[in-house]
Amino acid sequence: RARGPVPTPPPAPGTSEELFGIDAERAARHEGSRRDARRALLRSLAPGSPLLPIGARALVGCALAGYASQAVGVGRPYWAIVTAASLFQANVTLSWNRALQRTLGNLLGVLVFAAVLPVSRTGPLALIGFCLFFGFAAEALITRNYWLGSVAVTPMALLVLEFGGTHPAGELIGDRVLDTVIGAGAGLLAAMLVTNRRAAGRLEKALAATDLARAHAVHTLAAPRATPAALDAARRRLTGTLVELREADDAAAGEWWQRALPQEQVLAAEQAGHRTLAATATRRGPTARAPENGAV
């Protein structure tokens, strides 16, 4: 409400170097090869991986949704399975948020379908036009706002059934609503029952790996005859550990039934790692604007 400019506090020491390190980390993420992606996939499927409980959640949740929908007598139980499968994210908190978005989007989408169904049955062109419109809307919205994208996906999925023949509107709407509720409930139940206590252990390992990678990078920077290849290897190693640390912290922070996490240590490791990464990027030829005063 004031007329003057918003006051900006002076930056803390090392802020510019840390921001430059963050830019260097983001730039290095795009340099990963397909071989690195395959290795990451194999590690996630290996025994002891912290991602295996998420796979177990998906298996249990989809099975519960399918059996429950079939037991209730819904004609299309695969809708419940798809709903349950779409809920599972990196942790329980994100899965809960996705469940709310999915349920709200599907219920609103059912109302949209009920509104456009009489018009879509006036002719083939109307049916094709609505399917194209909702398909375009789903592609445009799903990556920006999930529940809005679900509002477009639901009527499109229901209208596609009209190409095979006319179905009672009440049956389609009832099946979709029941499958949405059953799928969301089964998915959340599985997410809460199948705990992921490995998330904290993954965070501790990532924190230790980041400290080691930073110490190695500092040693490489201090070497008077450090080659560009050695600097590049140290930079890649430190970048990979920082990315893993951020992903592990995000996943563990949203898990329920979890022991206390070393948040202060994670923050300190990230700040120090980004400053060191900025120094390595400056020495090897930065991909972004280098800070005025480098710091390790």
**Mean pLDDT, residues 195-221 taken together:** 88
Contact 22, 291 (CB under 8 A): no
* Cβ-Cβ contacts under 8 Å for 173 (sequence gap 6 or more): 110, 113, 114
Please give the distance of CA 221 from its chain centroid, rounded to a whole number. 34
pLDDT at residue number 181: 95
Say what the pLDDT of residue 141 is: 92
Query: What is the secondary structure of 205-220 as a DSSP string?
Result: HHHHHHHHHHHHHHHH
DSSP code of 9?
Answer: P
Q: What distance in Å separates the CA atoms of residue 208 and residue 205, rounded to the nearest whole number? A: 5
The confidence score (pLDDT) of residue 253 equals 84
Residue 283 pLDDT level (bands cut at 50, 70, 90) = low
Q: Please list, in sequence order, all residues whose beta carbon lies within 8 angstroms of the beta carbon of residue 120, skipping any fewer than 6 positions away.
A: 126, 127, 130, 159, 162
Contact yes or no for 100/200 (Cβ under 8 A): no
pLDDT band at 120; cut points 50, 70, 90: very high
pLDDT at 24: 63
Write out pLDDT tens, residues 141-159. Answer: 988 899 999 999 999 999 9
Specify the pTM.
0.71
pLDDT in tens, 10-61: 666 656 666 666 666 666 565 555 666 677 677 777 777 777 888 899 999 9
- 16-25, 190-199, 200-209, 239-248: which range is least confident on average? 16-25
Task: Please report the pLDDT score of residue 296 as a whole number.
Answer: 46
For residues 264-281, average pLDDT: 86
In tens, the pLDDT along 57-116 reads 999 999 999 999 999 988 889 999 999 999 998 888 989 999 999 999 999 999 999 999
CA separation for the pair 256, 149 (Å, rounded)? 28
